[in-house]
A and B are shown apart, each in its own frame.
Chain A
Amino acid sequence: NAGVTQTPKFQVLKTGQSMTLQCAQDMNHEYMSWYRQDPGMGLRLIHYSVGAGITDQGEVPNGYNVSRSTTEDFPLRLLSAAPSQTSVYFCASGQGNTIYFGEGSWLTVV
């Protein structure tokens, strides 16, 4: 059982470049979300989805887009990367009141 799978694990981007962080889950969870983790700031919610075709903004959505075309996948897009987006990104999925995190994606924007 793979759980929540994130790719890539590590990425370096130049300012202004675009990229997509992939997230897939095989637990048939309706809920999926993206968090960013920065030193001293804990985990902050970027975007979330309560089912295919439904997405909504979290606490820090600016600079990020998401879509949810299938139950399994929830990609996070950076359209024009900025140094402030250097962070560790975690995808999570859940059902009921428990969420399960992926292993994280380390992104550096130079």
Chain B
Amino acid sequence: GENVEQHPSTLSVQEGDSAVIKCTYSDSASNYFPWYKQELGKGPQLIIDIRSNVGEKKDQRIAVTLNKTAKHFSLHITETQPEDSAVYFCAASLLNTGNQFYFGTGTSLTVIP
């Protein structure tokens, strides 16, 4: 089955700096890669996703890049703010196969004011 690895497990940045979280996947058939943000005591929420036919996608301060050849994808957060502090999970899946996601182990991001 699919194996998703995520690094780093913890990340601290100064407010205004950028944060980068990296994930690798093992199954070359995976073609959908969402990122989830989990705030303390809450369930994960989708923040951005990318499909394998796209190399990069941006949404305001958040961007995701995908390298299919190397089987890795990354989340980039620019101009970080204290409210960005949370746990971030990457995931890999096959489109339209019943939503079976394989999650990374999570990155705890702390933005220091």
Contact = CB atoms under 8 A, between A and B. Distances in A.
Interface of A: 4, 31, 33, 35, 40-45, 48, 50, 58-59, 90, 92, 94, 96-104
A97 B105 contact: no
Nearest to B1: A59
Interface residues of B, number: 27
Contact of A42 (B1, B6, B46): B6
Contacts of A58: 100
Contacts, number: 60
A42 B105 contact: yes
B99 interface: yes
Main secondary structure of the interface of B (DSSP, over half): loop
Given A43-B103, A98-B46, 18 more contacts: A40-B105, A42-B4, A42-B89, A43-B89, A45-B100, A45-B102, A48-B98, A58-B100, A96-B96, A97-B32, A97-B34, A97-B49, A97-B93, A97-B96, A98-B49, A100-B46, A101-B43, A104-B41
